[in-house]
C-alpha cells in the first residue's frame, strides 16, 4: 500500500511496510463506528453548506453518497477491511469512489482527531442507553420474581453462616438496588459523554466560520466542548463508563455466585432451566450452572478493559497521541460483554425454579431465630446484653442435647431465665420476618412497598432512556 492511498499520504514517498500498516491500522475494530462516522459527516457537510463553505449542491451530493455507503455496509455489500487504515479513511475513500472528487471537500474544517472523538461519544451514548435498558429488564424480572414468591422464607447469611430468616423476595430486591445504582451511575456518565467535540480540529480549533451549535443540535448533544485541546484527547467519559460497567459485573458476579451455590444439592434452593445449564462429558448425572459460571468468569475481562484504558491515559501529554487508538477495542468488548451478561442473566433467572420448601426448611435451622429470642427477653424487661448472654447459653445447651431453642420444654427454658412464658413458642421464622417491620426491612408489607417503589424506579429509567 502506498502512503498516497491514505488520507495523509502527500508528505510521503516510500510505500508503507505491510506489517507496519496492519499494526497501525484500526479498521478491523473501529469499522464498528461507521454509522457514527457517517452521521457526523452528514451533519458536518450540511453545516458547511449552511455556512457557505460548501455549495448546496456539493453538500447534497456528499450526503447522498454517505447514505449510500451506509446502506452498502448495512447490507454487507461492502466490508471495511485492511485496504483502509481506519473507519474515517474507509468512508472518505469509498465516498470518493461514489461521488468523485467532491468527496475531498468533506474534510474541510475537520480533523480525524475531533472526528474520532465525536464518533466515540456517539457510540458511548447509544451503548449507555442499551446497557441501562438491559439492566432495567433484569430489574423487572427481579420484581416479578419477588412478587411471585412473596411468602417464601429463606435463610439470610453473614460470613456464609446462617444468620436470620429473610424473605426470598427481600434477597432478590437487594440485587435490584445494586442494579438501580448501576443504572443511575450510567445515566450520570451519559451527561459527560453527551458533549459535542467536533469543531475542535486537530487541537486548536479551525479557521473556517463553522456553526458548532448547529452540528450539536443535529446530533442531539447536550453541550459543546469548551476547550479544543481537551476535547480531542478527553476519554474520561469512557473510563467512567468502564468503571460503571465493572460495577455491574461485580453485582452480576456476586449474584451468579449465589445462584451457583443455590443450585447445588447441598443448598437446593434453585434449579436452573436446562437451557442455561450443561452436562459432563464423563459424568452423566451432572447438571452444571455454566451460564452463571461464565458470567462470573467474564467479570475479569471488563475489569481489564478499565485498567487498560487507565494505563493508556496516564502518561499522555496533550493532545492527541496514537496511543488513543487503544481506547476502543477493549472498550467495545466490555460493552458487548456486559450487554450479553445482563441479557443472559435475565433469561436464566426468569426460567429458574424456586425450591421454596427447601428454603423454608433451612431458614429455621442454625438457630436463625436466636436474635428474636433475645429480643423476646428484652421486651420482657431484660437488658439486651444480658438477653444475648442467656440465649448464647441456651444455644450451647441445645447443641449439646440436640434440637432448637423452642424445642425445649418451658421448664427448661425457665432454668435459663424466669422471663420465658408460653408465648415464646410463637417465635418462629414467619414471626421473625414479620417483626422486622422497618423501612428497608424484610417484613412482608415492607417488601410489598419496595416492589411498588421498584416498579416506579424502572418506569423512570425507561422514561429517561427514551427522552433523548
End-to-end C-alpha distance for the chain, whole angstroms: 43
**Run of H or E residues at 353:** strand 353-354
Cis peptide before 218 (omega within 30 of 0): no
- Report whether 424 contacts 409 (CB < 8 A): no
Q: Centre a 10 Å sphere on the Cβ of residue 138 and count the other Cβ atoms it contains.
A: 26
Q: Calculate the CA 99 to chain-centre distance.
A: 41
**Catalytic residue flag (residue 388):** no
Q: What are phi and psi of 244, to 5 degrees?
A: -65, -40
259: which 3 cell numbers? 445462584
Q: Which of 75, 159, 275, 467 is catalytic?
A: 159
Q: How far apart are CA 416 and CA 396, in angstroms?
A: 12
Q: Centre a 10 Å sphere on the Cβ of residue 143 and count the other Cβ atoms it contains.
A: 22
391: which 3 cell numbers? 440465649
- Where b means 16+ CB within 10 Å and e means fewer, 199-232 reads bbbbbebbeeebebeebbebbebeebbeebbebb
Q: Which of 89, 169, 263, 280 is catalytic?
A: 280
- Report whether 85 contacts 6 (CB < 8 A): yes
Q: How many helices (H) and strands (E) does the chain have?
A: 19, 6
Dmax (CA) for the chain in angstroms is 102
**Catalytic residue flag (residue 159):** yes
Burial of 296 (0-12, 13-18, 19+ CB in 10 A): buried
* 175: three-class secondary structure by DSSP: helix
Q: Which residues are catalytic?
A: 159, 280
Amino acid at each position: 500500500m502506498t502512503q498516497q492511498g491514505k488520507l495523509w499520504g502527500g508528505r510521503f514517498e516510500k510505500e508503507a511496510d505491510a506489517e507496519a500498516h496492519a499494526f497501525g491500522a484500526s479498521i478491523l475494530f473501529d469499522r464498528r463506528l461507521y454509522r457514527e462516522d457517517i452521521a457526523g459527516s452528514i451533519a458536518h457537510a450540511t453545516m458547511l453548506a449552511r455556512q457557505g463553505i460548501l455549495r448546496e449542491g456539493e453538500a447534497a451530493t456528499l450526503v447522498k453518497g454517505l447514505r449510500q455507503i451506509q446502506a452498502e455496509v448495512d447490507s454487507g455489500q461492502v466490508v471495511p477491511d485492511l485496504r483502509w487504515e481506519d473507519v474515517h479513511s474507509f468512508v472518505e475513500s469509498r465516498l470518493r469512489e461514489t461521488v468523485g472528487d467532491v468527496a475531498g471537500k468533506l474534510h474541510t474544517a475537520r480533523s480525524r482527531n475531533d472526528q474520532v472523538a465525536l464518533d466515540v461519544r456517539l457510540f458511548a451514548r447509544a451503548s449507555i442507553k442499551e446497557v441501562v435498558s438491559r439492566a432495567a429488564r433484569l430489574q423487572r424480572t427481579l420484581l416479578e420474581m419477588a412478587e411471585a414468591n412473596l411468602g417464601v422464607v429463606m435463610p439470610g447469611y453473614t460470613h456464609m453462616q446462617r444468620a436470620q430468616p429473610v424473605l426470598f423476595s427481600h434477597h432478590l430486591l437487594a440485587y435490584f438496588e445494586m442494579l438501580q445504582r448501576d443504572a443511575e451511575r450510567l445515566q450520570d456518565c451519559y451527561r459527560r459523554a453527551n458533549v459535542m467535540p467536533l469543531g475542535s480540529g486537530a487541537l486548536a480549533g479551525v479557521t473556517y466560520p463553522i456553526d458548532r451549535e448547529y452540528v450539536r443540535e443535529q446530533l442531539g448533544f447536550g453541550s459543546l466542548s469548551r476547550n479544543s485541546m481537551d476535547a480531542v484527547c478527553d476519554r474520561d467519559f469512557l473510563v467512567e463508563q468502564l468503571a460503571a460497567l465493572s460495577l455491574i459485573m461485580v453485582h452480576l458476579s456476586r449474584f451468579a455466585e449465589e445462584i451457583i451455590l443455590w443450585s447445588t444439592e447441598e443448598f437446593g434452593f434453585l434449579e436452573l432451566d436446562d437451557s442455561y445449564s450443561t452436562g459432563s462429558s464423563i459424568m452423566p448425572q451432572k447438571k452444571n450452572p455454566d451460564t452463571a459460571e461464565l458470567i462470573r468468569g467474564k467479570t475479569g475481562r471488563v475489569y481489564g478493559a478499565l485498567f487498560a484504558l487507565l494505563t493508556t491515559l496516564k502518561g499522555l501529554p496533550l493532545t492527541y497521541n496514537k496511543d488513543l487508538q487503544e481506547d476502543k477495542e477493549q472498550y467495545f468488548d466490555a460493552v458487548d460483554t456486559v450487554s450479553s451478561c445482563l441479557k443472559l442473566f435475565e433469561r436464566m433467572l426468569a426460567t429458574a425454579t424456586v425450591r421454596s420448601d427447601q428454603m423454608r426448611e433451612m431458614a429455621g435451622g442454625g438457630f436463625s431465630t436466636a436474635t428474636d429470642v433475645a429480643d423476646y427477653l428484652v421486651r420482657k424487661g431484660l437488658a439486651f446484653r444480658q438477653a444475648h448472654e442467656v440465649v448464647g447459653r441456651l444455644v450451647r445447651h441445645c447443641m449439646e442435647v440436640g434440637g432448637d431453642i423452642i424445642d425445649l420444654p418451658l421448664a427448661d427454658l425457665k432454668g435459663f431465665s424466669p422471663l420465658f412464658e408460653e408465648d415464646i413458642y410463637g417465635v418462629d421464622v414467619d414471626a421473625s420476618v414479620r417483626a422486622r417491620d422497618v423501612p428497608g426491612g424484610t417484613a412482608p408489607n415492607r417488601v410489598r412497598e419496595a416492589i411498588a417503589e421498584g416498579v416506579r424506579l424502572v418506569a423512570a429509567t425507561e422514561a429517561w432512556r427514551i427522552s433523548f
